[in-house]
Amino acid sequence: MADGRFITFEGIDGAGKSTQARLLADHLRAAGHEVVLTREPGGSPGAEEIRRLLVEGDPARWSAETEILLFTAARRDHLEKTISPALARGAIVISDRFADSTRVYQGATRGDLRGIVDDLHARMIGREPDLTLIVDMDPEAALGRGLARKSGEDRFEDMGHAFQVQLRTGFLALAAEAPERCRLIDGMREVDEIAAEIATLVARWLA
C-alpha cells in the first residue's frame, strides 16, 4: 500500500458525511484522480452482509463488545477486498466512516472499551487513514436530518439524543488526540460552502 492516499469522513449520524464524501470524490475525479468511494460498515460484498446485522433492528440487539467484533470483521474484509487493492494501485480511497467510528461509538459511549477497540485494531486492521475529515454539528439538527431519511437503517439513530451528544464529544476528543491526521469541519453550513472548504483543504494536503 505504498502510493495511494486514504481519506476518511467521520462524525455523528446525519452530519453530512455521505454528501461531502460524494462531492469530494466527484471533485477529485474531475481533477483526473482515480477515486474509490466506499463506506463502513460495508464497502465489500461480505462487509455489506455484516452491515445489515449492525444497522437494522432493535437498538439493544448487540452488546458493545459484540459490535466491536462485528465492525472489526466487516472492516477486515473491507480492507482486504477494497481498500488495500485500491491503495496498492495508487488510487485515492475515500471512506464514509472507518475505525474512528468504532473508537467513538463502541469505545467511548457504553463503558470504557477503548482499550479493547485499540487492541483489536492493532491486531486485525493495523492501518490508519492518511487524512480524516470530522464533520461536526449540533446533534439535534443532525438527528433531524438523519431520521428524516427513514432509511430503515436507524438502529444507532434510535439510541437517542443523549447518545448523539456523547458521540459528538467523542469525535471532538479524537480530533484533539490526533491533530496531525484529523481536521474538524463545521457541518452547520450550506452544502456547497462545506464542499468548497474541503476541496481546498484536500488540494493543499495532496500537494
Binding mask 9-28 for ligand TYD (x = CB under 6 A): ----xx--xx----------
19 contacts which partner out of ligand TYD, ligand ADP, none, CB within 5 to 8 A by kind? ligand ADP
For residue 168, which of 13, 24, 9 has the smallest C-alpha distance? 13
Q: Which does 101 bind (CB under 5 to 8 A by kind): ligand TYD, ligand ADP, none?
A: ligand TYD
Of 137, 74, 149, 183, whose CA–CA distance to 157 is shortest? 149
Instruction: Check residue 127 and give left, alpha or beta (phi > 0: left; psi -120 to 50: alpha).
Output: beta
Separation between Cα atoms, residue 139 and residue 135, nearest integer Å: 11
Residues between 114 and 173 that touch ligand TYD (CB under 6 A): 146, 156
Binding flags for ligand ADP, 128-167, as an x/- string (CB under 6 A):
-----------------xx--x------------------
Q: Which of 4, 5, 10, 17 binds ligand ADP (CB under 6 A)?
A: 17
Residue 6 found at the interface with ligand TYD (CB under 6 A): no
Q: Does 42 bind ligand ADP (CB under 6 A)?
A: no
Write out the DSSP string of 5-35: EEEEEE-STTSSHHHHHHHHHHHHHHTT--E
Q: Are 124 and 77 in contact (CB under 8 A)?
A: no
